[in-house]
Amino acid sequence: MQKRKIYNVAGHRFAVINADEALLQQMTQYAPFEETTADEADGAPFVFSLTVAGGEAFPDVALTVDTTQDDEGSQIVAGHIDDGRSYFEFQLFGDRSARLLADNSYQSAMIWLEKHELYGINNAMMVLYALATANKGTALFHSAVVGRGGYGYMFLGKSGTGKSTHASLWRRYLDGTELLNDDNPVVRVFPDEVRVYGSPWSGKTPCYRNKSLPLGGIVQLSQAPYNKIRRLRSIEAYAVLIPSISGKRWDKTVADGLHETENALAGRVRVWHLECLPDEAAAVLSSSTIERER
């Protein structure tokens, strides 16, 4: 009988099949998102199922590389094999951690684990989640997000611009602020609201909360020797959102789904640009402005 773990992130269910029990025990960040039900029929269909390869070798196939992404010692290689399936390779400090093959819908995938198994399977699940939900009004962001007063507020920006720092300033100086996620929150667009969710993926700060809030505003950050904030027009907001959302843009289905989500967010959620110092005044300025005009 196949071993299976079922998880639910932002209302999307997925399954991991045949993972080693010792590996599952290390995946503590997924515990808040685990479902006790053992049957797909007990809830919404899975957005994807990931099977861990056992003794079978990786198939002897021709591989085409489409793109490579590097980030502080880690690397993701994305491409496809000769039968059209998507291929991903996850590397950490020069070691190949895992190889992944997925069907064109990203709903069914198999992973071959090598070194740094936890890193490999965690990244595979995050990539599959982003791709399998892209056409479901869902976006996996590179962002820090805090909750305050019953709403979530997201901070965007390139690596090193101070997303985590600004989130910590809100927590330090603004009563009632809590961290929801520090690196990869999920946003979902519904007919009557937009919500932001915690996820099992939170970067360097461990914050794995199975909680959601209405999205009250989005702030793009940039460093400056002063504090200044302005509201972005819809077209500016759209341009700001694109680089902060994970996705396979050369896949038309994924790109079209993300475009719809980005367009909805730019039109329905207020987006701001904050030029700032890493100080209390910046946190007070951003919070007072976006909370007042939410």
Kindly report whether the global pTM for this prediction surpasses the value 0.85.
yes
Q: How do residues 42-86 score in pLDDT, each as one tens digit?
A: 668 999 999 999 878 899 899 999 998 887 778 999 999 999 899
Mean pLDDT of the chain: 93
Instruction: Report the CATH number that the domain containing residue 260 is assigned in CATH.
Output: 3.90.228.20
Provide mean pLDDT across the span 172-193: 96
Domain count, the chain: 2
Residue at a domain's end among 132, 156, 190: 132
Q: Are residues 68 and 189 in the same domain?
A: no
Q: Are residues 84 and 189 in the same domain?
A: no
Q: Are residues 127 and 40 in the same domain?
A: yes
Note whether 219 and 154 are within 8 A (CB): yes
Q: How do residues 87-106 score in pLDDT, each as one tens digit?
A: 999 999 889 999 999 999 99
Range(s) of the domain holding residue 203:
138-292
Q: Are residues 154 and 282 in the same domain?
A: yes
pLDDT of amino acid 74 = 87
